[in-house]
Structure 1
Amino acid sequence: MTVKLFVNNLTNVDFSYLHSSRGLMGESWLLQLELDGALNEQGMVCDFGIVKKLTREWMDNTIDHALLVPTKMSHVQSEQSIGQTSVEWRYPDGELFNCVSPSKAIVLIDVEEITPEAMAQWCTVQLLELFPQEVKGLSLKFIPEEVAGAFYHYSHGLQQHDGNCQRIAHGHRSRIEIFLNDQRDEKLEQEWANRWQDIYIGTTAHRKESEAGMNRYEYQAPQGEFSLTLPEKYCYDIDTETTVEQIARHLAARIKQMRPLDDVMVRAYEGVGKGAVAKA
């Protein structure tokens, strides 16, 4: 007899990936996990603590806060050298995307398209090998957060961060809430979500000279040298590091400029269930 063990919303992963038409996209997925196998001497398929620890650590070390590249997608070229990976791709209109990062910041996936289903299959094969022999099967599912209101996909990199947030092309799928005089303004939320759909939020100080119509960002961080080039129309620069706190402050200040007589409050999310609040 086999018994199934399940863990809903075990963790969530935040990353960016290349889409065949939309280009660089930030994303956030919740992870559902199901194991089946024989019971061990403790009457368990696997201890929940082991399940959570193994899965979270593997996700953190593999795809979380990375750029996922589907190597079978048209016009993708990648090159790996010692400790570094470079990726080049062309948007449907021929414009250039290029990213050079330490190798752990870019994950090459042997698929045509990054989807929850394709990534679940890719992760399952590798993750199953980590579990005790009593575990005979593993079913993994990635699920986008259900958001009733406005949301957008954004990518960024935090040069000054000690952890994986320093990677120049990682991202999130984030809701946004805007209040004017303590009343939520869903129309304004949607306007900003539309404006920032699939956006790269850059830091002005990271911008380097580039061809007309293109933005090139470069910086040195603890993990190594990072660079990113993409069309200007997909970018939005702010004068500070692009932490969620600074994003919330920037939005509140911009909205206050347009509505100087109103009290403004912005709740900016960074992926699932976390974010920052700024008032102006």
Structure 2
Amino acid sequence: MVLFVCNLTTIDFSWLDPLRGLVGESLIVDVSLTGELDEQSMVMDFSLVKKEIKKYLDASVDHALVLPLRNPRVTCTCCAERVDVMLFSDAGKVDCFVSGPAASFLPIDAASIETTELEKWLNKKIKEILPANIDDAAITLRHEEHAGYYYHYAHGLKKHAGNCQRIAHGHRSTIQIFINDKRDAYWEKYWAERWKNSYLMSENDVVAASQLSAKAQAVYHDKLLASAYTSSQGYFEILLSHEQVEILPDDTTVERIGCFIKQEIGRLNPQLGHVTVHAFEGVGKGARI
């Protein structure tokens, strides 16, 4: 017998890709469990499915940077509960460097972070925490279905008390823009293209190379921008190519992101009239400005 739960949760995370660099992602999680009925005449209590599997996802992949350990252009070094990650270009130069507490990263045995690879890894791990009467578990990951434009972005929120403080987590977010109360496809497409596979960095978190750790300084070069901060979970650093980074004047919360988009549209075209921005942070949540 198969028990299923659609829309169990949403996971927001980032992953490293040799072509796209650091990619923010949001995926909806569905789950199905195959097994025999227990003494309650259930495969598993729905409340326990939601509680146990969501708890595991929150502790592993959600708000983490997922690393393909079998990709030759990715290196991952662990030392004293810290992890240093590097993504190299074809020419052997560092395109991305991320350093932080080990809990901020999820290494998986894969050459790339395709949805199917992540599903395989999660399915194997989920089976280990389920009751003995369950023979099989299947996690299915899917994107939000919508008509419109979206962008992938990564960021870190140093003031956040939870896992959003991790410097390289991310989202896949839709964007809705209204000019004089009418949806405007031009501006939605504009932002989808401007922030395709982007990293949104707060101006307050930009640092000079001299302020970085010795390891970060060793790989730094003039094609990279650097950000670093200390938050409640520890010390974080990130180096990324100038082309991938947009520097915002404030924190990169969804509220501030929405304000930035609205102000930037006004700067680019002061004659537009009333602008309303619906900025999303992943699936089904965001800010209206």
Q: TM-score, normalised by structure 2?
A: 0.93
Q: Distance in 2 between matches of 1:28 and 1:239?
A: 25
Report the Cα offset of residue 95 of structure 1: 4.6
Shift, 1:92, TM fit = 4.0
CA distance, structure 2, for counterparts of residue 188 and residue 72 of structure 1:
39
Matched, 1:246 2:256: yes
> C-alpha separation between the residues in 1 aligned to 2:108 and 2:183?
41
| RMSD (Å), alpha carbons | 1.1
Q: For the Cα contact (< 8 Å) 2:86–2:94, is it kept in 1?
A: no
> Aligned pair 1:267/2:266, yes or no?
no
Residue equivalent to 2:218: none
Question: 1:183 aligns to what?
Answer: 182
Q: 1:238 is aligned with what amino acid? A: L
1:18-97 mapped onto 2 (5 Å cutoff): 18-92=16-90, 94-97=93-96
Q: Distance in 1 between matches of 2:30 and 2:71?
A: 27
Show the counterpart of 2:99. 100
Q: State the partner residue of 1:11.
A: 9
CA distance in 2, matches of 1:212, 1:111: 31
String of CA shifts for 1:46-89, please: whole Å, max 9, x gaps.
00000000111100000000000101112211110111000111
Matches within 5 A, 1:163-178: 163-178=162-177
Aligned-partner SS, 1:178: strand
For residue 215 of structure 2, what is the aligned residue in structure 1? Answer: none
Question: SS in structure 2 opposite 1:54?
Answer: helix
Judge conservation of contact 2:14–2:154 (CA < 8 Å) in 1. Answer: yes
> Structure 1: how far apart are the matches of 2:145 and 2:17?
21
The CA distance in 2 between the partners of 1:128 and 1:206, in whole Å, is 40
Contact 1:95 1:231 in 2 (8 A): no
Q: 2:216: which partner in 1?
A: none
Deviations 1:5-45 (A, max 9, x none): 00011101000000121110000000110001110111100
Task: Using structure 1 for the length normalisation, give the TM-score.
Answer: 0.96
Q: Which amino acid aligns with 1:243?
A: T
Asked if residue 216 in structure 1 is aligned to residue 215 in structure 2, the reply is no
Change in CA separation of 1:271 and 1:92 when aligned onto 2, cut-off 3 Å? farther
Query: 8 Å contact 1:84–1:100 — kept in the other structure?
Result: yes
Describe the SS at the equivalent of 1:194: helix
Alignment correspondent of 1:139: 138
Corresponding pairs, count = 276
Moved segments of 4+, more than 6 Å? none
Match of 1:115? 114
- Code of the residue aligned with 2:42 in structure 1: it is M
**Alpha-carbon offset, residue 148 of structure 1:** 1.3
- Equivalents in 2 of 1:20, 1:236: separation in Å? 20
1:235 aligned partner? 245
Question: What amino acid does structure 1 have at the position aligned with 2:264?
Answer: R
Higher mean C-alpha displacement, 21-30 vs 255-264:
255-264
Identical aligned residues as a percent: 37
Cα contact 2:13–2:25 (8 A) shared by 1: yes
Give 1:150 deviation, angstroms: 0.6
What is the CA distance between 1:147 and its match in structure 2?
2.6
Moved more, 125-134 or 171-180: 125-134
- In structure 2, C-alpha distance between the alignment counterparts of 1:156 and 1:91, rounded to whole Å: 21
Gaps of 5+ in 2: 210-220
Q: CA deviation at 1:139?
A: 1.1
Q: Tell me the secondary structure at the aligned position of residue 155 of structure 1.
A: strand
State whether residues 18 and 87 of structure 2, in contact with CA within 8 Å, keep that contact through their aligned partners in structure 1: no
Q: Tell whether the 8 Å contact from 2:127 to 2:136 is kept in structure 1 after alignment.
A: yes
Which residue number corresponds to residue 193 of structure 1? Answer: 192
Amino acid of the residue matched to residue 270 of structure 1? E
